[in-house]
Amino acid sequence: MENYSYPLDEDWTTDEIINAVLFFEAVEKAYDTGVPKEELEMKYDAFKLIVPGKSQEKTKFREFKSNSGLEAYSAVKKLKDAEPGSLIKI
């Protein structure tokens, strides 16, 4: 894993922080080896419970791209178009 920080909020609970990190790790996996659609979908759904608003999501995705160089939006876009059982690879 690269040496950068994830875009987290200090007012999130421990579980929320864990779920956000798991989502961003799944995005990294999509860039590295690929991630099963269902895995990314489950982690994105958990992330959306923490960050339900579109503008808040865009802010977190922008911070993630700034820190990592990876585009979370690309993974989510591929997720929405992916067939069940497919591997999402960027």
Q: Could you state, in order of their start, the residue ranges of all structural domains in the chain?
A: 14-81
> What does pTM read for this prediction?
0.93
CA atoms within 13 A on the CB side of 1: 13
Count each helix (H run) and each strand (E run) in the chain, helices first: 4, 2
Distance CA 87, CA 82 (A): 8
The CB density around residue 29, as the number of other CB atoms within 10 Å, is 19
The pLDDT assigned to 5 comes to 85
Q: What is the pLDDT of residues 44-89, one digit of tens each?
A: 999 999 999 999 999 999 999 999 999 999 999 999 999 999 999 9
For tokens 């178009």, name the residue: 81
Distance CA 17, CA 90 (A): 25
Domain 14-81 architecture: Orthogonal Bundle (1.10)
